[in-house]
Amino acid sequence: MSRAPRLAGQRCWVVGASSGIGAALASELLARGAHVAISARREDRLEAVSQGHMVVSPCDVTDPEGTARAADTVRERLGAVDLVVWSAGTWQQFDALEWDRQAFARHIEVNLLGLNNLLAVVLPPMVADRAGHLVGIASVAGYRGLAGAEAYGATKAAQLNLLESLRVSLSGKGIRVTTVAPGFVRTEMTEANTFPMPFLIDPDQAAHAIADGLERGDHEIVFPLPMALLMKAASVLPVRAWDAIAGRLARSGTS
């Protein structure tokens, strides 16, 4: 696999860029000299992020045809896309004692099937060109199970596995795959959280960490560092030990 290029001059499409990490990353890529296209459902928010300097191509990732049309618009305006960032997603705290089938399904629909819709339109051209870079923003919540994250965590664990599998499958084909696993970031999705969020950072800090990792050629970008170390350590704990720790965390969060 070739060395990671500098971001300057790269044609980048950020999907899920109307707010939060996606919006901040789009601005960071532009500041580093990339040509940027952005997509999400809310066109007015995309225009505010763009400030007239990015290609705006609205879409709902749960709509396969709409996602394909957005991809066509981006290619028409930018040309062949060098780097695609998946930053779309939904989060809702979950109560396993009162199972909400629709809430669980919504996480699957957006976080997994939405990603599937994007991959279906961006991977074939990359494979044909033997070039491209896919960046998927998952979460450290996918490393171990936590009470209240049954729906979100399940989709993030699936994303981590999917991106790792793609990295292996596409190795040697000229296509890079980078997994991004943030800790807690101050966004619209997290502002309603009532539980402690250790090592909370701002979206601009997240965007800087991602862009730095992309320019280093990292296969996996996990941040902030304290959360990365904590969750990496948790990922290798025996099940019984993790169950005890997670149980205490759940009880402290409801006390």
Coil, strand or helix at 82: coil
Cβ pair 242, 234 in contact under 8 A: yes
Instruction: Tell me the CA distances in angstroms from 15 to 99, 121, 144, 221, one per residue in order.
Output: 30, 12, 26, 18
Four-residue CA torsion sign, 240, 197, 214, 175? positive
Which residue among the candidates 152, 180, 209, 214 is catalytic per the annotation? 152
CA distances from 1 to 19, 49, 162 (A): 32, 33, 19
Q: Report the distance separating Cα 193 and Cα 190, nearest Å.
A: 5
Catalytic status, residue 152: yes
Extended beta strands in the chain, E state: 11-15, 35-39, 55-56, 83-86, 132-137, 175-182, 220-223
3-class DSSP assignment, residue 21? helix
Among residues 4, 37, 6, which one has the least CA distance to residue 22? Answer: 37
Residue 121, C-beta contacts closer than 8 angstroms, at least 6 positions apart: 67, 68, 71
Q: Which residues are designated catalytic? A: 152
